[in-house]
Chains A and B, each alone.
Chain A
Amino acid sequence: DIQMTQSPSSLSASVGDRVTITCQASQDISNYLNWYQQKPGKAPKLLIYDASNLETGVPSRFSGSGSGTDFTFTISSLQPEDIATYYCQQYDNLYTFGQGTKLEIK
């Protein structure tokens, strides 16, 4: 099984800050990685697919990078509506989610 380790597990930042979340796979998964945003009481929403591709309709302040085992998710300028929990997900071998990063406003 492929394990996904996200860090940090929680993060507090100010509006306008650049925010970075990392995700590490337990083995090489090429670029088979997606990022999701989940707001309380809601279903997850796909933001980034194949490590670096922005889903249609998602603001350009969101971006992703990486390949192999190490991946990064970035919000270039944090907005109040970005408060949520973010998850990475691999699909190289079935599917595994990271444990999530809860983002809060400072």
Chain B
Amino acid sequence: EVQLVETGGGLIQPGGSLRLSCAASGFTVSSNYMSWVRQAPGKGLEWVSVIYSGGSTYYADSVKGRFTISRDNSKNTLYLQMNSLRAEDTAVYYCAREDPSVYGAFDIWGQGTMVTVSS
């Protein structure tokens, strides 16, 4: 079965760091374009970051310089390292795969992991 499972969310103080993980099954992370998308409570979807199969990475302006996307091919897992966290980073974080046959469309999503930044 093709699926994504996120872990690593929790309560963290402002200025702190957290690493989210996204374990994939049924497909190879390194062969696909993988993104993180977040959703603040009661708000809409916000794209956060992407890592392409070739290794190039891109970030939303709101997280650039603070977040780092990476992957571990041996574990078939995607990561999001989040540093200097702010209250406005509070959200459910989803990992998502771009459909390899349909460029730009997120066809597989995880269930999400909640990150709460608060003192």
Contacts and interface: CB of A to CB of B under 8 A. Distances in A.
A3 B94 CA distance: 21
A43 B96 CA distance: 10
B50 interface: yes
Contact of B105 (A1, A46, A97, A100): A46
A71 interface: no
Contacts of B104: 32, 34, 49-50, 91, 95
A46 B107 contact: yes
Interface of A: 1, 32, 34, 36, 38, 43-46, 49-50, 53, 55, 85, 87, 89, 91, 94-100
30 contacts: A32-B104, A34-B105, A34-B106, A36-B45, A36-B106, A43-B94, A43-B96, A43-B109, A43-B110, A43-B111, A43-B112, A44-B106, A46-B99, A46-B107, A49-B102, A49-B104, A49-B105, A50-B104, A53-B102, A87-B45, A89-B45, A89-B47, A91-B103, A91-B105, A94-B50, A94-B60, A95-B35, A95-B104, A97-B46, A98-B44
Nearest to A91: B104
A50 B102 contact: yes
A62 to B, nearest CB: 14
B1 interface: no
Interface in B82-115: 94, 96, 99, 102-107, 109-112
Contacts of A87: 44-45
When A and B form their complex, which 5 residue pairs have the shortest distance between CB atoms, in order from nearest? A91-B104, A43-B109, A95-B47, A49-B105, A97-B45
Contacts of B111: 43
Contact of A44 (B45, B50, B60, B102): B45
A32 to B, nearest CB: 6
